C-alpha cells in the first residue's frame, strides 16, 4: 500500500512564509517527487493557503479539532513540534520530529528578555519538558546541522533513549537522528522588475544596496550594523531591513531589538534617508526580487550558544541569489562563508571591522564577483532534493525504527505528563504577566501616553 504522509507545519503556509512554512512546503514537494504514488498532505494552521498547481500534494488546515483525524488517516507524521495528544497513535504510526533549531538555546534567549525569577525558570522547564516529549515520541529525528545533531544526541542520551540495543543496531545513529540542512529554491535566478532602485522612495539608480534579509529578534544585533554605516558616512549606501512582523505571529519581530534599531537610526539621522524598515513581511515570491537587486547582505548577531547551534535560514536565499554577505562569526554557516569565500565574517559587536568589510564588498568589484562565483558553485549541493535525502530515505524504508516503541512507552507517558504540568505552571505566570501589561496599558491610556494601547504578549512567547 502506498505510504500516506502528513506534514504538520507550525508556521504560516502560502505566499507569506518564514522558515517553518518554507521548510514544510519543501518537504512536501521533495517527498511527493521522490515517492511517486505516495499520498502527501501538508497541513498548516492558517486558512489562506493555495493548492499546488500540479497537484503533487494536498494542502489543508489542522487544528485541535481535526488533528487526531488527520493523524489517523496517515502512516508517517512529520512535524517540528508534535502535539502531545497525537501520542494516542504512538504504537501504530511513524513519527518524524524536525528539530531544525536548537530550541533549548533559542528559547533561553527569548526568556532573557521577557521573563525573570520564577517565571523564567518556569519557561525553561517548559522548554525542557516539551523537548523531552518530542525526542521520546520521535521514531526519526532531523536537525539542520551537525552541531545541532550532537547537542540532541546528548539530550537523547540523558533521556535514556540510546540503549545498548539501539547503539548495536546502528552505531552511527544516522537511522535515528540525521542532519538535513535548509535548502535553496530549485529555480535559477531570473531577471525581473525592480523593487528598489527608482521604484521605492529613497533608492536612487546609483545607490549601493544592503539587505538585512529577515526580521529582528532577540538574538540579532542591528545596532552594530547601524553604527558601521554611521562610521562609513556614505549617502550612496542604502540599508533595507526586509521584514518585521512574522507571518502568522504578528507579535514576533517588533520587540525591543526592532524598536531599538529604529530609535538608533532616527538618532543617527539615518531613518528613511539611508536606512529603511519593511514593517510587514515580504512574500516568499517577492523576496527574490529584493535579494537579486541588492549588492550585498549583512546579518549581525551575538556570540552565544544560540549562535553556536543555529542554522541561519535567512542566508539560504542569499546563496540562491549568489549575493555576497557579511555575518558575525560563531555559527556553522559563518564557517562556510569563510571557508568557501561567500563573503566576509567579522567579530561580534565590532562596527569598525564591519564598516571595513562593507566598504570592501561594495567597492572591490573583483572580490565581489569572486564571491558570487563561489556561491554559484554551491548551488547543486544545497538543493532541497539533496539536503532532505535523510527524510526521503526514512519515509521510503519499511524497516522498523532503530528505537522500538515498547522501549519508549514508559518514558513517553512520564514526559507527556511532565510537559502538561510544566505548561500549566508556565501559563499561570503568563496570564499574570498579561494582566500586568493590561493594567499598565490602562494606566498609560488614562495618562494620555501615546501607543499605550499596544499591550501584546512578549515577543517570542508564541513559539513552541
Q: State percent of the chain over pLDDT 90.
A: 76
**Please, what is the average pLDDT of the chain?**
91
Looking at residue 313, its pLDDT comes to: 87
Dist. CA 330–CA 82, nearest whole Å? 30
Count of beta carbons in the 10 Å neighbourhood of residue 188: 9
Residue-wise pLDDT for 128-181, tens only, equals 999 999 999 999 999 999 999 999 999 999 999 999 999 999 999 999 999 999
Cβ atoms of 280 and 215 within 8 Å: the answer is: no
Decide if pLDDT at 182 tops 80. Answer: yes
Residue-wise pLDDT for 407-421, tens only, equals 999 999 999 999 999
Residue 116 pLDDT grade (very low, low, confident, very high; cuts 50, 70, 90): confident
What is the average pLDDT across 184-206? Answer: 92
Q: Going by C-beta distance under 8 Å and a sequence separation of 6 or more, which residues neighbour residue 120?
A: 111, 112
3 state SS of 327: strand
Domains, the chain, ordered by start: 4-184+386-446 (3.40.50.2000), 208-382 (3.40.50.2000)
Looking at residue 455, its pLDDT comes to: 41
Residue-wise pLDDT for 92-111, tens only, equals 999 999 999 999 999 998 88
Looking at residue 454, its pLDDT comes to: 45
The single residue listed with the C-alpha cell 540542512 is: 181
Q: Starting from the edge strand earliest in sequence, which strands make up the sheet with 325-328, in order?
A: 275-277, 237-241, 208-212, 296-299, 325-328, 343-346
State if pTM tops 0.75.
Answer: yes
Task: Cell numbers for 307, please give them.
Answer: 549562535
What is the average pLDDT across 341-346? Answer: 97
Residue-wise pLDDT for 232-274, tens only, equals 999 999 999 987 666 665 555 567 888 899 999 999 999 999 9
Amino acid at each position: 500500500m502506498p505510504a500516506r504522509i502528513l506534514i504538520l507545519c507550525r508556521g504560516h503556509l502560502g505566499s507569506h512564509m518564514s522558515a517553518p512554512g518554507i521548510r514544510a512546503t519543501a518537504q512536501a514537494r521533495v517527498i511527493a517527487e521522490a515517492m511517486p504514488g505516495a499520498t502527501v498532505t501538508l497541513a498548516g494552521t492558517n486558512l489562506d493557503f493555495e493548492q499546488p498547481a500540479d497537484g503533487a500534494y494536498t494542502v489543508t488546515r489542522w487544528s485541535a479539532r481535526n488533528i487526531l483525524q488527520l493523524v489517523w488517516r496517515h502512516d508517517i507524521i512529520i512535524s517540528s513540534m508534535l502535539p502531545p495528544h497525537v501520542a494516542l497513535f504512538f504504537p501504530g504510526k511513524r513519527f518524524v520530529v524536525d528539530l531544525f533549531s536548537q530550541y533549548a538555546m533559542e528559547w533561553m534567549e527569548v526568556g532573557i528578555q521577557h521573563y525573570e525569577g520564577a517565571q523564567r525558570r518556569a519557561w525553561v522547564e517548559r522548554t525542557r519538558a516539551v523537548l523531552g516529549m518530542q525526542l521520546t515520541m520521535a521514531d526519526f529525528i532531523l536537525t539542520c546541522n551537525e552541531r545541532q545533531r550532537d547537542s540532541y544526541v546528548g539530550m537523547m542520551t540523558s533521556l535514556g533513549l540510546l540503549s545498548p540495543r539501539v547503539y548495536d543496531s546502528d552505531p552511527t545513529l544516522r537511522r535515528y537522528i540525521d542532519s538535513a540542512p535548509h535548502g535553496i529554491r530549485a529555480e535559477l535566478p531570473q531577471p525581473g522588475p525592480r523593487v528598489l532602485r527608482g521604484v521605492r522612495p529613497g533608492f536612487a539608480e546609483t545607490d549601493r544596496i544592503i539587505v538585512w534579509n529577515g526580521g529582528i529578534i532577540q538574538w540579532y544585533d542591528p545596532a552594530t550594523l547601524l553604527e558601521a554605516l554611521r562610521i562609513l558616512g556614505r549617502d550612496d549606501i542604502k540599508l533595507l531591513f526586509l521584514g518585521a512582523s512574522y507571518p502568522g505571529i504578528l507579535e514576533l519581530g517588533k520587540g525591543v531589538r526592532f524598536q531599538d534599531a529604529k530609535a538608533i537610526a532616527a538618532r543617527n539621522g539615518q531613518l528613511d534617508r539611508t536606512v529603511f524598515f519593511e514593517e510587514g513581511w515580504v512574500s516568499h515570491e517577492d523576496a527574490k526580487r529584493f535579494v537579486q537587486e541588492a549588492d550585498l547582505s549583512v546579518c549581525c548577531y551575538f556570540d552565544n550558544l544560540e549562535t553556536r547551534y543555529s542554522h541561519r535560514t535567512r542566508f539560504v536565499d542569499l546563496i540562491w541569489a549568489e549575493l555576497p554577505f557579511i555575518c558575525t562569526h560563531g555559527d556553522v554557516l559563518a564557517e562556510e562563508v569563510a571557508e568557501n569565500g561567500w563573503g566576509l565574517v567579522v567579530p561580534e559587536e565590532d562596527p569598525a571591522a564591519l564598516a571595513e568589510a562593507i566598504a570592501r564588498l561594495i567597492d572591490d568589484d573583483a572580490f565581489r564577483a569572486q564571491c558570487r562565483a563561489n556561491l554559484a558553485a554551491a548551488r547543486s549541493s544545497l538543493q532541497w532534493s539533496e539536503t532532505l535525502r535523510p527524510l526521503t530515505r526514512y519515509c521510503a524504508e519499511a524497516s522498523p525504527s532503530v528505537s522500538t516503541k515498547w522501549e519508549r512507552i514508559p518514558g513517553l507517558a512520564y514526559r507527556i505528563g511532565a510537559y502538561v504540568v510544566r505548561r500549566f505552571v508556565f501559563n499561570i505566570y503568563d496570564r499574570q504577566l498579561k494582566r500586568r501589561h493590561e493594567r499598565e496599558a490602562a494606566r498609560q491610556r488614562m495618562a494620555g501616553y501615546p501607543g499605550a494601547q499596544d499591550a501584546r504578549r512578549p515577543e517570542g512567547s508564541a513559539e513552541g
